[in-house]
Amino acid sequence: MNTSRALVSHLTSITDKEFRADHLKLCFLWFDEILIETIGDYDEKRFVEGLLKAEPPQRALSHALSDVIRPLDRELQEYITGDWRSQAQRGYPRWGKNYANYTYPEPENAEQFAHNHLLELIAQEHGVKMFEGGYDVEQAEGRARIAVDAVTLWEGVNAELPCMLQANRDEKSAMTAAKQFASGSSLQDASFTLFEVAIPSLLNVTWSDVAKFRKNGSLRSLREKIAHSVAWAGADLEAAKSLFDRSEQEAIDAMLEHGRPRVKRVAIESILANLPGMPLNPFSLFFGIRDTTGVKKRNRENGWLYLLRDIKRVAGECDSTNP
């Protein structure tokens, strides 16, 4: 089976506290590896300790996180984007009368198109159609460049190591614009989005609990159930959600039906299992094997549902104790 990977930009990993406290836990459950972009010296131990600072020290838990959350290979990173010195030497477009225009007049690639799109969104945030110049333009350009660079890095890494970018708001906008330019989409993106919808916020759930969920043998079947829903829906997220909700309800209905009391059968089996005068009652042995086999089969078939309900229950309990 192919390794599923997530890529997290340097900016998101160090500045987005909500991402580290919530969304990163979701990634930890879904992906086999989480790659962190590094700039300068990266202290892996310090990064993991920062994630666990609100929890009691646990060496095994730290190792569990480090096995999944890893720094992106520096040589691969520089091969794709160049080193930080070459990146710093890039300029920005200026054209028109008095060089007042700061967008790419005719975007030649997805990066330039996304850069223009972000500048437009940032201007809208400030309530203007476009900036007049000076400090505001420089800030907007820098913000757009960082987001587009994250998408460019992802495209390069994805070509070598298939992965999904875990983006902040600016990076998501850049990704959307780049996809519009390239007209591309991904089943993997839709599958993770559905997983994000199905799982409640993990903001108040401890990393210790998240690590237990990851070790659960039914996590893979939960991933597969979600991926199958997306595939059947042709990557249509709304249709996929309806299919997944239906699968969840059908599994619950089946469990309720199986648990329906059948008094007559229970009475007959009780009599047969307790017939006197036999050192080893074959009926008792048969019913025991049958029931054990049935429980194992149901656990295999519905383990994904039990896990999903466990995650929702723990998340709800944590939210109620941390309003």
Under a CB-based contact definition with an 8 Å cutoff, are residues 153 and 7 in contact? Answer: yes
Taking 50 as the threshold, does the pLDDT of residue 184 lie above it? no
Residue range 73-121, pLDDT digits in tens: 877 887 777 655 566 667 888 888 777 888 888 888 888 889 999 999 9
Average of per-residue pLDDT values in the chain: 82
3 state SS of 70: strand
Where exactly are the structural domains of the chain? Answer: 1-184, 185-323
Q: Do 7 and 35 form a contact (C-beta atoms < 8 A)? A: yes
**What mean pLDDT is predicted for residues 224-248?**
86
Q: What is the reported pTM?
A: 0.75
CA distances from 218 to 196, 226, 304, 313, 314 (A): 17, 13, 5, 16, 16
| Token output for 2 | 């192919």
Least trusted range by pLDDT, from 4-18, 234-248, 254-268 = 254-268
pLDDT at 126 > cutoff 70 = yes
Q: Does the pLDDT at position 44 exceed 50?
A: yes
Identify the architecture of domain 1-184 in CATH. Answer: 3-Layer(aba) Sandwich (3.40)
